[in-house]
Structure formats: structure tokens, C-alpha cells
Copies of this chain bind each other. A is one copy, B any other.
Amino acid sequence: VIAYDGTAFHGWQRQPRHRTVQGVLEVALGEVLGGGPARVMGAGRTDAGVHARGQVASFSAPTRLPAAAFPPLLERRLPPDVRVRDAFEAIPSFDARRSARARRYAYRLLHEDDVLLGRFAWAPRPRRPAEALERAARALEGTRDFSALRGAGATPGTPVCRVMRASVSVWEGGLRLDVIADHFLYHMVRNMVGSLLAAAAAPDPAEAMRAILASRDRSRAGVTAPAHGLTLEQVYYPAEVRA
């Protein structure tokens, strides 16, 4: 279970000439295991600038080290913007990505720009009332076609996601959107945020959000909110993946 400040990373996924979270993690893990280069599978391929508190990465390796030994051994070899929060032994078929049942992302909004919180939250203009945002967010819940919120350059696959929760709550300095879904389309949460801000300005925010979704048209939706406001908070697995 991994946390990172995404500011100085070109996202999760390993790239030849860029600093990525997967890249630095695989170097550190290779050192701990003492063999050649290690390979890990991440539950969510977070974009450049996106943060994580509860990213999960899995690997398979012949080792006598217990799972609990890995966090301190890895942390010693990792830069300060990546932390290893926990480690568990899993069943052989476990794969952090394919075994995940749901993921929770948080997007943080600020009432005004802030030099400390602004590292992982966004201050859009104009401000929208929390109640209007909450009403629009609730319209995202359910099993729906999210084509209107799928970013360009998306990988193919079904646009139908099951959103178990989309709620707006008060957060230090502003508001926060929490979204739990079985899977997410490319830029989906960031497009949700732009669309919530647009829908919140309508007389009926829930109806405006439903109209955006029903259009299945990306051009009807709002702007893509900046990456730095987004954090992968948690990945959910069935209990039986623990070894």
C-alpha cells in the first residue's frame, strides 16, 4: 500500500526517460530482493501530478522475507515523496489491478488559492455552493454510461461504470468530491469535477448533470480539472485475496 506526492512524478507508469512512481518503486524493490530489475503491478495508473494515499502494487518474488519487512526496507531506498504504508502476503492469483473490486478517488477544491493546500487542491473560479455541487454529484451515482466524461486518448473498453458513491463534503479550506466506482475511465474524475462546476450553475444541478451524461457527448461536459487536485485514496479488494 503506497502513498505518494505526485507533484514531481510523470505519473505512475514506468517510462524510459521520466521519473515515475512505478519506476522508483521497481528500482527500490530490485535492491531489496537483490536480484535483477523487479516488476510491480499497480491498481491505478495515476496520471502525471495525481497523488495517492492508498495506491496498491503487487509483485511476485522468491524471497524468505516476511511481508512486514518490506515497508521499512523499501522506504530506506525510496525518495521522500513515496511512502510504503503497509504490505501483505496475498494468494498466488492476486493482481493489484485485476483483483480490485472498487477504487476511491478524492478531488479537493479550495475556496481560495493556498500555497500549502494548493499543492493537492484546486481553486476554481467562480465558486459554486456546496449544496448545488452535492445535488449534481448524487446524479452520478448508479450504473451508467460515462462516455460524456471519458477523456480523449482513452483506452477502449466499456464506458459503463458502476459509481457506488459520489458525494461532496466540507474539507479544510474548501470542498471535496469523493467517488467510489468499480472502475474509472480516462480522466473521468477530473471531467466529473469540471462538469459538476458547470451543472452547479444550472437551476437544477442534478437534472443538468443527468443531461450531460445522457448526451454521451464529451463536448457537452465541463472542463478537465487539473491533475494536482486528485488523489487515489483507496483500493478495495475481496477479503479472500489475503494469503
A interface list, Cβ under 8 A from B: 3-5, 51, 53, 81-83, 113-116, 119-120, 171-172, 231
* A119 to B83 Cα, complex, angstroms: 13
16 A-B pairs with C-beta separation under 8 A: A3-B115, A3-B116, A4-B115, A5-B115, A5-B116, A5-B119, A51-B115, A51-B116, A53-B114, A53-B116, A83-B113, A83-B115, A116-B231, A119-B119, A171-B172, A172-B172
Neighbouring B residues of A231 by C-beta, 8 Å: 116
Residue of B nearest to A80 (CB): B115
Chain copies in complex: 2
- Which residue of B114, B115, B119, B171 is within 8 Å of A116 (Cβ)? B119
Neighbouring B residues of A4 by C-beta, 8 Å: 115
Q: Is the CB of B172 within 8 A of A3?
A: no
Given contacts A4-B115, A5-B119, 14 further A-B contacts (CB under 8 A): A3-B114, A3-B115, A3-B116, A5-B115, A5-B116, A51-B115, A53-B114, A53-B116, A82-B115, A83-B113, A83-B115, A116-B119, A116-B120, A172-B172
